[in-house]
Structure 1
Amino acid sequence: MSGGARGVAYETLRAVDADDAYANLLLPRLIERAGLSEADARLTTELTYGTLRRRGTYDAVIASAADRAVDRIDPAVLDALRLGVHQIMSTRIASHAAVYETVQLVRRAAGAPASGFANAVLRRISRDTPGEWMARIEQSARSDDERLALRTAHPVWVIRALRRALAAEGRAAELEELLGADNQAPQVTMAALPGLADIPEGHPRTPYSPLGFRLGGGDPEPVVRRSRGRLRVQDEGSQLAALALTRAAPVREGERWLDLCAGPGGKTAILAAEAIAHDARLEANELVPARAGLVRQALAAIPRRFSVTEEDGRTRAADGADAYDRILVDAPCTGLGALRRRPEARWRKSPADVPELTGLQAELLDAAIGALRPGGIVAYVTCSPHLAETSGVLAEIRRSRSDVEQLDARAVLQSVSRAPMDLAAPEDGSGRAQLWPHRHGTDAMFIALLRRG
């Protein structure tokens, strides 16, 4: 595939679609390999993430213009069409340039006949305004939720899950604000590892995390390299989740901690820095070898060696029964809380994934509680507000165990935060905390704290 901004964006889209790659991990490597200028790197990033975010909307437009369902279009051609439609409908790129460059991508990827098809479809789309296309596809919707899904580029099942999660806080009216926030590129947020790095002068602080600051533009990688990894890119919600565990109660010297599902290692690095400050011992575990490698990279910035095992978290916790004072269970989840940073997750997951995930989450949390010493604390964290993955899992644990009490995670976060946080009390009266992109500017991180009796 040819280089240039569009070529790199297209290569990323193909890898996401065909190989289940994660754009946030792959794209920086492809940009570096292609040697793109800063301006072209920005363009590539916008094209990639913009196309991924609004894929559902663009598919509806393509299906209408092509007069065929998108599953009848060759996937390599379809990804190029999505990229072209994004340029036509959502950027200032001239339509004729978007059409020409996309047709050339298709010609190189799929041959001349496919390029003729792409040319016809894109020229048909470019003849009408984006507003006219949106009105046309919304008229085809069979329900209000489907209409909202087309307008905001979220699957219907995700919209309904987010509405239920907001309604549990009495704030269902915030749904469209949340969907809009999901489609905005997040600011680059950095963390200074506590006790190992200071927030650089001149950078604005994050409103809540005492470790966080904004970079204010530009590539963060040189900042990370100069600090030897002690300044790192990390969402503010992730910073707060790690601090909620370490600061939920005073740390006693010699405590033993475990990060049970540690990949890719951002929270682990904060736990490690906090462990050094309080003379605690930290162990990390990550089942997936590639992600375990990322954990080791994250810990390379820490001036103390920490072990990283590669086991099923349920087995790892069972082998350490009654051994730990604090455990972080950052459980595998649907990722619906991180759609700003990982927009492909909305198209990759389905309702059928939820039961398997919630079963795993409950098993991990149950095993972690068993690995706690009496009085020990576990932080159950998901980057998803889906009620089945949050309050549903906690309800299952309460039904199956009588040896845990739920702490007030909202109060802990307020004590950690630099400023008061708008943390709604859920209708079930529990102490769990839910962060939101539209309300806090963070990922929709869920945090619950449980103490073993």
Structure 2
Amino acid sequence: MSTKHGASTTGRAAPARKVAAEVLAAARDDDAYANLLLPARIAQAKLSPGDAALATELTYGTLRMQGRYDRIIRLAANRETSAIDPVVLDVLRLGVHQLVATRIPPHAAVGDTVALAPRRATGFVNGVLRTVARSTPEEWDARVTGELTGDARLAAEYSHPEWVIDALRRSLDADGRVDELEELLAADNVAPAVSLVALPGLVSVAEVGEPGGISPTGIQAVGGDPASVPAVAAGTARVQDEGSQLAALILSRARAIVPGERWLDMCAGPGGKAALLAAEALIGGAELVANELVPVRAKLVRRALAVFNPAPRVVEGDATRFATSDPGGFDRILLDAPCTGLGALRRRPEARWRKQPADIPGLVALQTRLLDAAVAALAPGGLLAYVTCSPHPDETRAAVARVLKRHSELSAVDTRAVAADIATSELGPGVGPAVQLWPHRHGTDAMFVQLLSKVDA
């Protein structure tokens, strides 16, 4: 059956609900990312394809709309969600999602969800969910929004924290798109289409499937498990957002590659952009070094680069060390900086609840240190791509303005012009030299890309 968000679900599959509840608990207690944990839990539980689809819909749908569902639960339970045991609250959220956002029969949504609750709470969960089931989703929408206006209404309707809404509005305004806020919020709540990347020199787009929407290396993924695609199984194609692909290609294709160039991916984990850069470097005769701070993520980078022979060198450690260990040593540097991740809320919906405004200053300070190190490690005449998977103004345009002010040897490259020559579809209007991609406009994560060049001494 079709849900409100287009996924296919049925009223069965208690194992799928159990997997979803486990992932919600891990996201809450262990800061786990659902997109990384869910596939592993599905495999461990040996779910059928139908049950796997249901577990995916329940997990992501519940996380995306958690704010809205908590408002419904408060009204139906007549108590604050902070007073409800977290395990019980997870179960209630799963049940509410089934009742107001899917076509699962109410008796199945209530009965199978109550079975997940601790025995002491089954009566409470049953009562709350039956209360929810007595009203239509439209009636709950009206009660949730009530007399709310402005950002409070948007937060209730689109299930985003108000501070995130304010940040997105400011970023849209800076890009000349402020009237598109509700389109963006709505897009954040729709599961993204799966896209693949064809690694240049290893496989062509035509050999794998139909071309994607914006990246010349992008491929439209067909339904089913991407791992069943022969090129994916061989490692010559990968699952990768087209915005992420374009960010890497902007650096590699900004100008012709001179054989012998040295490239650096400063924060390479988990390795998607590094693999695309490695393919481009191999074709052009350049050498890539991929750095990652976290050993577990460095292992993922090595796995991502294992298809190349020889594989690029992967090193571990704090990327700021390149300022002193290899000053001026790299002709092109990708700094895909740690950030709030507000540009990937479609695929990492828990980030909207996990991040807080108090996190911004620390992230900005880290981005500043990494940018300064990248400038020091960049060779005269070299190119630096500053990339974030966040459109937050403090992490994007303001960060670029600050680094340009600190380093007179840097200049901003017209990155929009570079991207326009690479992209396979129109980027549309924007403000300034940076590229800001949008889920509602481009069908990608909200990637920010700014190329910077260093004066050739």
Which TM-score band (shorter chain)? over 0.9
- Asked whether the equivalents of residues 226 and 232 of structure 2 are also in contact (C-alpha less than 8 Å), the reply is no
Aligned counterpart, 1:383? 389
Distance change in 2, residues 1:201/1:252 (3 Å): closer
Amino acid corresponding to residue 260 of structure 1 in structure 2: M
- Tell me how far apart the structure 1 counterparts of residues 262 and 110 of structure 2 sit (CA, whole Å): 59
Q: State the partner residue of 2:25.
A: 14
Q: Tell me the distance in 2 between the aligned counterparts of 1:84 and 1:303.
A: 50
**5 Å matches for 1:409-420?**
409-420=415-426
Residue pair 1:423, 1:434 contacting (<8 A) in 2 also: no
Compared CA separation, residues 406 and 333, structure 1 to 2 (3 A) = same
CA contact (8 A) 1:295 1:308 kept: yes
1:394 aligns with: 400
More deviation in 132-141 or 81-90?
132-141
| Residue in 2 that maps onto 1:115 | 122
Deviation at 1:225, TM superposition (A): 6.7
Change (3 A) 1:140 1:17: farther
| Native 8 Å contact 1:317 1:368 kept in 2 | yes
1:202 offset after TM fit, Å?
Answer: 7.5
* In 2, Cα distance between equivalents of 1:25 and 1:224: 22
| 1:70-219 equivalent positions in 2, closer than 5 A | 70-106=81-117, 110=118, 112-139=119-146, 141=148, 143-201=149-207, 203-219=209-225
Change (3 A) 1:92 1:300: same
State the Cα distance separating 1:84 from its structure 2 match.
0.5
Q: How does 1:24-39 map to 2 (within 5 A)?
A: 24-39=35-50
Residue of structure 2 equivalent to 1:299: 305
The residue identity in structure 2 corresponding to 1:441 is G
Q: CA deviation at 1:389?
A: 0.3
2:418 alignment partner, SS class: helix
State the alpha-carbon separation in 2 of the partners of residues 282 and 224 from structure 1.
27
**Equivalent in the alignment of 1:329:** 335
Larger mean CA deviation between 233-242 and 213-222 belongs to 213-222
Q: Which runs of 5+ in 2 are unaligned?
A: 1-12
SS of residue matched to 1:329: strand
| Cα distance in 1, alignment partners of residues 437 and 101 from structure 2 | 29
Match of 2:9 in 1: none
**Partner SS for 1:350:** coil
Q: Summarize the alignment of residues 366-445 of structure 1 with structure 2, pairs less than 5 Å apart.
A: 366-424=372-430, 426=431, 430-445=432-447
Instruction: Report if aligned partners of 1:327, 1:368 keep a CA contact under 8 Å in 2.
Output: yes
Shift of 1:302: 1.7
- TM-score, normalised via structure 2 length: 0.95
TM-aligned CA deviation for residue 47 of structure 1: 0.8
TM-score with structure 1 setting the length: 0.95
Paired positions, count = 443
- Give 5+ residue unaligned stretches, structure 1: none
Superposed, 1:280-319 pairs within 5 Å as: 280-319=286-325
- Write the letter of the residue equivalent to 1:124: T
1:368-411 superposed Cα distances (whole Å, 9 cap, x missing partner): 01101100110000001110000111111122110101101101
AA matched with 2:424: R
- Matches of 1:76 and 1:330, distance apart in 2: 36
CA contact (8 A) 1:224 1:232 kept: no
TM-aligned CA deviation for residue 310 of structure 1: 1.5
Give, in whole Å, the separation in 2 of the partners of 1:284 and 1:380.
Answer: 16
Please report how far the alpha carbon of residue 317 of structure 1 lies from its aligned counterpart in structure 2 after TM superposition. Answer: 3.8
**SS class of match (1:191):** strand
**Displacement, 1:201?**
4.7
Q: Note the C-alpha offset of 1:200.
A: 4.4
Q: Is it true that 1:65 corresponds to 2:67 in the alignment? A: no
State the distance in 2 between where 1:33 and 1:234 align. Answer: 24
Please state whether the residue corresponding to 1:448 is helix, strand or coil.
strand
User: Structure 1 CA distance, aligned partners of 2:323 and 2:114?
Assistant: 54
Deviates more, 1:387-396 or 1:216-225: 216-225
Structure 1 Cα separation of the partners of residues 82 and 322 of structure 2: 42
Q: 1:186 offset after TM fit, Å?
A: 0.8
In 1, are the aligned partners of 2:208 and 2:219 still within 8 Å (CA)?
no
- Distance in 2 between the 1:317 and 1:233 partners? 33
Give the partner amino acid of 2:190. Answer: Q
